[in-house]
Structure 1
Amino acid sequence: MARKLVCICNLVLESEIEEIIKKGADTTQQIQDHTRAGTSCGRCLMEIDVLVEEHKKKKPESHQSRLEFGFE
């Protein structure tokens, strides 16, 4: 698997973002809070937005409660 760097400033890989999305993050802000991706220059925010939206399109709507990350 290729190791694509999404956030150059904070050295965050696409696989790290995908992993946190799989754990329940569903907004760019949650990705930022957990990985710091997109919190420096902001150049990668559009790519993070795309990853989040692609996941939302693939994910079936669930009535189960969400996983809590403790993002504050």
Structure 2
Amino acid sequence: MVARKLVCICNLVEEKEIVELLKKGADSTEDIQNLIKAGTTCGRCLPEIDQLVEEHKKTKPKDLQKKLDFGS
């Protein structure tokens, strides 16, 4: 059995849900909050959400470049 990693305990939001939204175009903590309510109750998970967003922003240009290279 694969362990689930809950980021937001209050709203039962898993890390994989946040990562999936980031891949689909969400690009800020506010986007995540608006889409799935993670980080909107007690706020304890906000630093982890911020970290996931920042990590995604670092890899996003590489992913975009791969898509551009593939299309040519």
User: What is the TM-score normalised by the length of structure 2?
Assistant: 0.81
Q: Which runs of 5+ in 1 are unaligned?
A: 63-72
Q: What is the number of residues matched between the two proteins?
A: 62
* 2:17 matched residue in structure 1: 16
Runs of 4+ in structure 1 deviating by more than 4 angstroms, as ranges, are none
Question: How big is each residue's C-alpha offset from its partner over 1:28-48, in whole Å with a ceiling of 9 and x where there is no partner?
Answer: 000000010000000000000
Aligned residue type for 1:60: P
Partners in 1 of 2:3 and 2:51 — Cα distance?
A: 18
> Aligned runs of 1:27-38 on 2, under 5 Å?
27-38=28-39
Alignment partners' CA distance in 1, 2:39 and 2:32: 9
SS of equivalent to 2:7: strand
Larger helix proportion of the pair: 2
TM-score (norm 1): 0.81
2:40 corresponds to which letter in structure 1? T
Percentage of identical aligned residues: 69
1:51 maps to what in 2? 52
Instruction: Report the Cα distance in structure 2 between the residues aligned to 1:60 and 1:41, rounded to whole angstroms.
Output: 32
Give, in angstroms, the shift of residue 2 of structure 1: 3.3
